[in-house]
Structure 1
Amino acid sequence: MTLKSLFATRLYHAPLNDHGSIDPDELVANCYGIAEDDEAGQDWCETEGFPGYTSYASLTDLPWRFPIFADVVAALDKHVAAFAKDCAFDLGDKELKLEDIWINILPPGGIHTGHIHPHSVISGTTYVALPEGSAAIKYEDPRLAMMMAAPPRLKDAAEELRQFIYVKPAVGDVLLWESWLRHEVPMNEAEDDDRISVSFNYSWG
């Protein structure tokens, strides 16, 4: 008998500073400072019922405005290149380039529901503040909608056979995945503190 695992879904997990020297305290201060000054972002979050703060719909040039975000992107470029190599992407004469990058400040009780990142190739998050009780990130098997009558998996099933995977990063980590992979952030159950992350998309060409 021969058994193979087909159609792998890759997840990249590494310290951001493997390719940089970003001061985590400075990054926290910048995230809060930007959130405080970004009235357009605050208005968007209030209008859309978004918990906490995100710069997703208001600021498109963080690396140009703030030197520390330029340093973050320089590190991310190297991580993304390593992940693209692992995925065996044939990029030809085009490069994977940063499409957008944004701040997320998720307060206690906040949640980011399941979603994908259309029109991108690689998406990811680097983690700025993770108080005790703040949520891990949850990934969903991309074949789930096609499983129809399949039974659930055993609780002790091997990780690659599970239908949902929870990953708990540490402050300073970066996670990368292909943008079609559905994911969500469960509720931040910390008592008082915010969960802060910086998310991003890379496109091809």
Structure 2
Amino acid sequence: MSLRPLFVTQVYEATLAEDPDFAELNGALADMCRVLAQEDGAGRTWCKAHAYRGYTSYGSLTDLPRRFPEFAELKRRLDRHAATYARALNFDLARKPRLDNLWVNILKPGAGHSGHIHPHAILSGTVYVETPPGASALKLEDPRLAMMMARPSVRPDAPIPEQPFVYLTPQPGTVLMWESWLRHEVPPNAAKSERISISFNYG
């Protein structure tokens, strides 16, 4: 007897921490994220209107790589990872994936982000800037979950690919990417300080 793993969901993981200038770039990104949190009035208004505990530039700034060299350099590195991921997925594309948007996320202690997908994109992901002890993992949901109906739960020791939810715990510099239809969330931040990340979409 044999089992065939079909319709596999491939999640991409890499790190920028191996780059020789990572510490300098990561520090510059952290500083810029905090500057934006102070100076982006439209972003703070969006966060207040949507009960976002912390700061995100998602609803206010859509051109960070054109505004700031730190984000332009990050885009250059992410472009390579997105192209590598698209090749690994065997996508039949007429061109390399293009960055549609990139936004800052600063989550205060206790803050999270409920389950969601990223419409109108093909690849989505996050690069992690600061992940203090206790910072939230990324929670990924089995895309079949809504159709499982009467399927029994799986044993706690079931292999990770068979679990209904998978938690990936990033470190500073971790790059995680997934296909944009994959539902995911950020559980409440249990750290005593802010969790800083930068999310993005490619089309």
Q: Please give the range of the TM-score, normalised by the shorter of the 2 chains.
A: over 0.9
* Residue 25 (structure 1) shift: 1.1
Verify: 1:9 aligned to 2:9, yes or no: yes
What CA RMSD, in Å, does the superposition of the two structures yield over aligned residues? 1.2
**What residue number does 1:198 align with?**
198
Please say which of residues 121-130 and 43-52 is displaced more in the overlay: 43-52
Aligned counterparts of 1:113 and 1:106: Cα–Cα separation in 2: 13
**What residue number does 2:133 align with?**
132
Note closer, same or farther for the CA distance 1:20–1:7 as it changes in structure 2 (3 Å cut): farther
> Taking every aligned residue pair, what percent have the same amino acid on both sides?
50
Aligned counterparts of 1:170 and 1:17: Cα–Cα separation in 2: 9
**1:160 partner letter:** P
* Residue 19 (structure 1) shift: 6.8
* TM-score normalized by the length of structure 1: 0.95
Note closer, same or farther for the CA distance 1:116–1:19 as it changes in structure 2 (3 Å cut): farther
Aligned counterparts of 2:59 and 2:29: Cα–Cα separation in 1: 20
Aligned counterparts of 1:111 and 1:88: Cα–Cα separation in 2: 33
Summarize deviations over 1:116-141 as a string: whole Å, max 9, x none: 00110000000000111111010000
Q: Which SS does the other structure have where 1:75 is aligned?
A: helix
Alignment of 1:1-205 (within 5 A): 1-16=1-16, 21-22=21-22, 23-91=25-93, 93-191=94-192, 193-203=193-203
Unaligned runs of 5+ in 2: none
Summarize deviations over 1:166-192 as a string: whole Å, max 9, x none: 00011011000000000000010112x
* TM-score normalized by the length of structure 2: 0.96
Aligned counterparts of 2:51 and 2:27: Cα–Cα separation in 1: 29
Aligned counterparts of 1:20 and 1:75: Cα–Cα separation in 2: 13
Aligned counterparts of 1:122 and 1:3: Cα–Cα separation in 2: 29
